[in-house]
Chains A and B, each alone.
Chain A
Amino acid sequence: MNLNPFWSMSTNTGRKRSDGEEQSGEQQQQQQQRASPARPSFGKKQLPSIPKNAVPVTKPASPAATAQLANGTHASYGPFYLEYSLLAEFTLVIKQKLPGIYVQPSYKSALMWFGVIFIRHGLYQDGVFKFTVYIPDNYPDGECPRVVFDIPVFHPLVDPVSGELDVRRAFTKWRRNHNHIWQVLMYARTVFYKINTMEPLNPEAAVLYDKDVQLFKSKVVDSVKLCNSHLFDQPKMDDPYAISFSSWNPAIHDEAKERMFTHKRRPEDHQKGLQVSGLSWVKPGSTQPFSKDDNPPQS
């Protein structure tokens, strides 16, 4: 068993997602994990082994951890709470099945998620934008997570230098239980369909959109082209779970595609062969023990 708590679970769930929910329209731009460690078999919950080239990041206790002591909890468990909070967020993202958005927590930290967004219509149609989500380490009590595009997309709400999306305008104050990371992802997708030019991070884009849509459109097309031309570049961050793209290679991808489609039928197959260890003789709709009709005689 590996002893690094910070990635094991999340990579597991991440794996499941990228296996099962790939959309066929984006097949030619197959997501692929670089240097990915041995894959655990589908549906089986186990901890993957640590890749050799990766080293968990640690640092001495952060002020945030000690701060939690004041809340009556032990600082030593702070990282576990954080890890599980982020895991919970991640499972929530999976549940939402956000169209065209894929995220995966990084290997090094659960606080950093790699993502990619596919824009399917509108001004930014055919855009494939990679981004990184940075979650504050005092989550969920801190600021809202930040979304930074790998390449600054030409957009009024995206900083033309850093590539950061203005998320805070939608989440002025991040509130636990009320705000969730899937909402941020959803927001990141929405900005490409519904352009807002108020208080822009990229004033040029805002002005163009308001004054000269045609020019704005052509700039957007250029920006989309630029982004897409860098699609196959090495990931910006050296992380085994960073999302990287490779061109379609039938030798690898055909089989993967095949598997994705067969997974859809998997649950029933699974049920048949499943060795059921539980017992029940309760008739559905009843709370009486041994109420099922096919019970053998007793007394």
Chain B
Amino acid sequence: MVANGNRDGRPGEALVLKGLDPETCMIVFKNHWAQVVKILEKHDPLRSNTSSNMASAVQNYVEHILFLLMEEDAGQAGAMGPILEFVVMENVMERLFLWSLRRQFTDDMKLEQLKMYEMIVGQARQPLLHHKPVLRPLMMLLSSCSGTAGPEVEAELVSLLNQLCCVLAKDQSVLELFFHTSEDQGAANFLIFSLLIPFIHREGLVGQQARDALLLIMSLSAENQRVAQHIAENTYFCPVLATGLSGLYSSLPTKLEVPGEEWHCLHREDWLQMPTLVQFLNSLEFCNAVIQVAHPNIRDQLVSYIYNGFLVPVLAPALHKLTLEEVMTTTAYLDLFVRSVSEPVLLQTFLSFILLHRHENVHILDTLVSRINTPFQLGTVSLALFQTLIGLYCEDVMLQLILRYLIPCNHMMLSQRRVVKERDFYSVSAAKILALTPSCCSPEHSPPPLRQLDSILWSKGTDNSTEETFLEEDGSGYSCVIGSEIYLDVNYLHYLYNARLGISSCTRACQVWSAPYDGEDPPPEEYQPSALEEAGARGRQAQTVNPKRSHPHPRPRPPCPPQTTDPAPTNQLELEWDDSYDAGPVVSPEAAAAESSRPPQLPAAEPPKHIQEMRRTAIMLVKGSYIEESDFQDDVMVYDLVAKKDARDTVDCRRPSRETLPESEESEIDSNLNLEEDHFKESSLQEKDEVPLSNGLSLPLHPTNMEVTKGSKEVKAHVADHNSNLQSPSAEVGDDLMGQYEELIRTLGSDETGTGGSSHVKTVDKEFRNPVVTPMEEDEVDFSSFSVDTPELEKPHSSLFGTKLRSGSTRSHSVPFTGPFVSVLLSRLENMLDNSLHVNLLLTGILAQLAAYPQPLLQSFLLNTNMVFQPSVRSLYQVLASLKNQIEQQASTKKDFPELITSAQHCLLARESSLKDSRECSPPEAGRMMKSSPPPQPKTISLARTEVFATVLFTEFLKELAAIAQEHSILSHVPMEE
């Protein structure tokens, strides 16, 4: 074999050649060629059988010839060397190719030729491909290899193509020739590119080489419009690439074998064990890389195909599969995909799928959020997905999840809007949060092990001297000493440090956001629910229309649900939204009947024909066969019913605390929750179905109420709220809701003023003014204004106004709602004592992540313990306070609680250090600390004692939140540029 022989003999040969002068080489070359020609002419393979002797003789000569060609240097000023000139003049390459073509053109022959070209292209000292007599036979060879061939030929072909692409990337002038030459041959334009496409999704080295080669062409396309245009318009590159993902996806396991209950996301070590997933991720990574380097035309096309050819037709149904395991698996995949994608444009594609796409008229996002509440592993995996999403620092994500519910500022009392941006000078919120520390975990009572270790370290840092010696007196007799070594919870320093890191990186990331979300921008008045609805409808419309621009195959708009007052969709949606894990409403038999008798669902939005076609072909290309998504029609319903049933069972046995409540109170809470959920359903319904706002219901406005608030902008807002609340498809439902709500507000209102209300008012009355006086050179500052005797001009009386407003019924018609995500998170947190350790770790992690966001709306909602919220709004602080009470109750009834706490602390500490050992990503000081600790061997504690672990975690979570609150009070107020 030519190439093999050459390779082996090369070093020696080269040495010999180096000694030779060009003239001698030329003579040798001509001589050899003459011999070859003689054989070629004598033994036309078509007429007589070429003996193997002859063939090997030719090979021998060719071997030498190619060496001489390779080793020849270019002539003066880039001219051809004499040998190359001879090759071109005599059409050497073409004649060699034709000769082998005339013999039996077996795979071996192809292999031989491919290797020959690979060698001279890769090693020649002068550019060869510029010359048609070299290029043309190469192209012929390539096109002859494009059909079916054995794996060896394929491997060699890809290797050669890769090499050609390298040449292209280095020397773009060859590009033109590639286009022309293939035209001459009548072959597909830009053959080397087309030849690579089938290998895109191939696994192993061949696939990798092909993808590398394609990437080279992709980056070429960024600068070369012609290449870009050709790829986008004349090749199947993008559809093959995108729909190939669908094919690869179909071969992924539909159910993951989960290692344990603690498992919640696919780590590297998990997916490395799954070859199909590795292959999928390779292709996804390739898409990512293409999008990164390719021309915008290609990029946009690819992104569009990924959306319409993979996400919508494959991933969306997969997220709605029949069993919990399947859905859980898909969710874990989605999480992994989002984590694997780095290119913003591709990330945006995934995010817009998650945030905006509607599968069977339900937003994917809503479905995913609702699943957080499932008590199964699906809930945990969903939490992990949201942790990933929140960690992206993406405005669009945060907007859809939380911020859009906070922008109108309806969740707080009217007077509180100005508090949103206020600064917590004295760590009041942190103190209030830390004051929730359960007495059994108080640092004074039982120092956790971590603290002790730290304390040791701490005192080491301050030498051996006794504390007394640190007391220093300066000359003036003022001693400046603060702090105490004994009681300092040094562990808290780590939280502060982490909070600082978290907040600063988040703040930096959010600099690209469009608005500060500080209660003023975006202006709350413009985003009252009714206005938001309209904008939302408009926005979505724009969303569906906008992208058509550069999209070659626009997708028809998904069929809109009929905008009637048909009650059936309501039921369906209720079902969808009935997250009854946490004390949801009981489904009445009537409702169940309505469910079963509901009209058949609208057919799922079919992707357009050409996409389906494309997908099928691409899938055939990649896999051979693929089972199309079967009927998912009733999956959602079945899934929800199953989840609901199971959830109810769990709720029944898991909520002992509820039973201790007096019956009336319980029902009150229930109605509260129901109502909140009803509203939730309703609002989501409005959004989903884009019910027109001109619904005919009129609002009975009491003139007295109007007087109370006349003229104010807020009135309009309330009326708007009111109206939007009446947008229920069924008037009956609306009235009923209103009635319930009126009553609820009354009870809650009186309750509020009776107990919690007074303290609220007190806090409001506290002065929180931050007098920013611009410094004046003239020194005309009236310092008397700083004195206490000065009458305060701007005493906040708006709080009173707010109270009045609430006691009236004007405001009552809009149930303030902070969004499904917050609601679900808080309700899971409420169950902290029953949650398993890892669920709690995820939950608290997500909440801490959210709390680190610098947007005042979010910060004030989560961390400001002085904020006065609407009575129906559940705040993080409220949930934490109720948890503290639950814990205190547990601690008082269980004798061995303190002991158990200590065991749990040791257990968690051991877990922490084992995690740190395995990951080796811990900050050095933490590592040092851990090492110095002798592994504690206390009484073991079962992880099933969730309430004990939750108690420990709760205490730590309080510190984490308090630390974040404290750092916010500094970081968020230091001007950015400093």
Contacts and interface: CB of A to CB of B under 8 A. Distances in A.
A123 interface: no
B116 interface: no
Contacts of B480: 57, 106, 108-109, 111-112, 134
A56 B407 contact: no
A128 B457 CA distance: 43
Contacts of B425: 85, 88-89, 140, 176-177
Contacts of A234: none
Given A57-B472, A73-B431, A190-B779, A284 B515 contact: yes
A280 interface: yes
A110 interface: yes
B815 interface: no
A249 interface: no
Interface in B462-499: 462-463, 465, 467, 470-472, 474-476, 478, 480-490, 492-494, 496-497
Contacts, number: 342
Interface string B394-415: 1111011001100100000000
A147 to B, nearest CB: 12
A58 B539 contact: no
A44 to B, nearest CB: 10
A55 B493 contact: no
Contacts of B444: 74-76
A57 B471 contact: yes
Contacts of B548: 297
B527 A287 contact: yes
B321 interface: no
Contacts of A172: 787-789
Contacts of B515: 282, 284, 287
A210 B404 CA distance: 65
Contacts of B535: 286-288
A183 interface: yes
B973 A95 contact: yes
Contacts of A162: 476
Contacts of A134: 478, 480
A261 interface: no
Given A289-B399, A296-B345, A148 B476 contact: yes
A297 B435 contact: no
Interface residues of B, number: 130
Most buried by B among A137, A278, A291: A278
Interface stretch (B121-129, B501-509, B648-656, B724-732): B501-509
Contact of A289 (B356, B437, B976, B977): B356
B400 A289 contact: yes
A81 B430 contact: yes
B482 A295 contact: no
Nearest to A87: B970
A219 interface: no
Given A91-B974, A177-B766, A276-B512, A58 B396 contact: no
A291 B404 CA distance: 14
Contacts of A74: 434-435, 437, 442-444
B513 interface: yes
B514 A62 contact: no
Contacts of A175: 767, 788
B488 A79 contact: yes
A2 B977 CA distance: 26
A50 B461 CA distance: 10
A97 B978 CA distance: 13
Given A278-B393, A289-B399, A298 B304 contact: yes
A32 interface: no
Given A80-B492, A176-B426, A291 B539 contact: yes
Interface residues of A, number: 107
A8 B509 CA distance: 24
Contacts of A92: 770, 973
Contacts of B488: 76, 79
Contacts of A289: 351-352, 355-356, 395-397, 399-400
B790 to A, nearest CB: 10
Contacts of B771: 178, 180
B481 A94 contact: no
A277 B508 CA distance: 8
Contacts of B942: none
Interface stretch (B89-97, B195-203, B257-265, B549-557): B549-557
A25 interface: no
B484 A61 contact: yes
Contact of B777 (A62, A99, A173, A281): A99
Most buried by A among B423, B962, B966: B966
Contacts of B474: 236-237
Interface string A267-299: 100100010111111111111111100011111
A299 B355 contact: no
B628 interface: no
Given A278-B395, A298-B352, A80 B496 contact: yes
B925 interface: yes
B104 interface: no
Interface string A152-164: 0000000000110
A82 B349 contact: no
B504 A45 contact: yes
B480 to A, nearest CB: 4
A296 B489 CA distance: 51
A13 to B, nearest CB: 7
A279 B394 contact: yes
Contact of B458 (A3, A81, A88, A98): A3
Interface in A182-222: 183, 186-187, 189-190, 193-194
Given A108-B472, A178-B769, A280-B394, A190 B781 contact: yes
Contact of A296 (B303, B431, B457): B303
A1 interface: yes
B775 A99 contact: yes
Nearest to A171: B786
B344 interface: yes
A212 B332 CA distance: 86
A267 B977 CA distance: 6
B769 A82 contact: no
Given A97-B775, A297-B549, A287 B532 contact: yes
Contacts of B457: 3
B941 interface: no
B511 interface: yes
A162 to B, nearest CB: 7
A297 B461 contact: no
B544 interface: yes
A199 to B, nearest CB: 15
A48 interface: no
Contacts of A118: none
A81 B426 contact: yes
B977 A177 contact: no
Contacts of B386: none
B661 interface: no
A226 to B, nearest CB: 18
B923 interface: yes
A240 interface: no
Interface in A212-262: 236-237
A131 to B, nearest CB: 11
A40 interface: no
B969 interface: yes
A61 B486 contact: yes
Contacts of A81: 426-427, 430-431, 966
A85 B544 CA distance: 51
B977 A137 contact: no
A280 B352 CA distance: 12
20 contacts: A47-B497, A56-B470, A58-B470, A77-B492, A81-B426, A81-B431, A84-B430, A172-B787, A175-B788, A189-B779, A276-B511, A276-B512, A279-B393, A279-B396, A280-B396, A284-B514, A287-B515, A296-B304, A296-B345, A296-B349
Closest A-B pairs by Cβ, 8 of them = A278-B509, A297-B547, A288-B539, A289-B396, A280-B395, A61-B484, A279-B394, A109-B480
